[in-house]
Amino acid sequence: MHGLTQRRAGVPWRGGRPLSRLVGREHELALLHAQLAQAVSGQGQVIGIAGEPGMGKSRLLAEFAHSLHGQPMTYCEGHCLAYGSATPYLPVLELLRQLCGITATDRPADITTKVVHALREVEIASEDAAPVLMTRLGKLLCFQGR
């Protein structure tokens, strides 16, 4: 696909840019779709993609995400960054932030409201789970310099 653009929320210095055509990654794309099929059938999945810079990891994920348009699901990415190696579960915290709609400018009260709302949407008792998530998010907010 030519002209597909992507903005990676977890890596702010890599804004939207045209992505090159996907070449030679049909097998990897098929593996991602196979894992998705397992997740849809009720078998939880976590997929890790690692490799040297420039080998097409972001391009592969952009193609996969694009293939999901129109399907009733939520797609999120978490990124392992070298400067975040001292922050346990940073990719999971990034996913949590995305799923709750938390932005860098949110105040603590806004974050609490968003976490409680997100938990209610997925029918999790927010009075039990919100404090746990808020503790985790507090560590993430400290990491972001808040």
How many domains does the chain fold into? 2
- Pair (57, 92) in one structural domain: no
> What confidence tens digit (pLDDT) does each residue in 108-126 have?
888 888 888 888 888 777 6
Tokens representing 78?
């978490």
Asked whether the beta carbons of 32 and 64 are under 8 A apart, the reply is yes
- Pair (58, 98) in one structural domain: no
Answer yes or no: is 98 within a domain. Answer: yes
Q: What is residue 14's predicted lDDT score, i.e. its pLDDT?
A: 45
Answer yes or no: is 59 within a domain. Answer: yes
> What confidence tens digit (pLDDT) does each residue in 59-75 have?
899 899 999 999 888 88
Answer yes or no: is 75 within a domain. Answer: no
- Pair (62, 94) in one structural domain: no
Percent of the chain with pLDDT over 70: 75
- Print the domain residue range for 98: 82-143
- Pair (91, 47) in one structural domain: no
- Pair (99, 60) in one structural domain: no
User: What is the distance between the alpha carbons of residues 96 and 76, in angstroms, rounded to a whole number?
Assistant: 9
Burial state string for 50-69 with b = 16 or more CB within 10 A and e = fewer than 16: eeeeeebbbbbbbbbeeeee
Q: Answer with the one of 67, 90, 116 that is the final residue of a domain.
A: 67
Answer yes or no: is 77 within a domain. Answer: no
Q: What is the DSSP letter of 18?
A: E
| Contacts of residue 86, Cβ cutoff 8 Å, sequence gap at least 6 | none
Answer yes or no: is 54 within a domain. Answer: yes
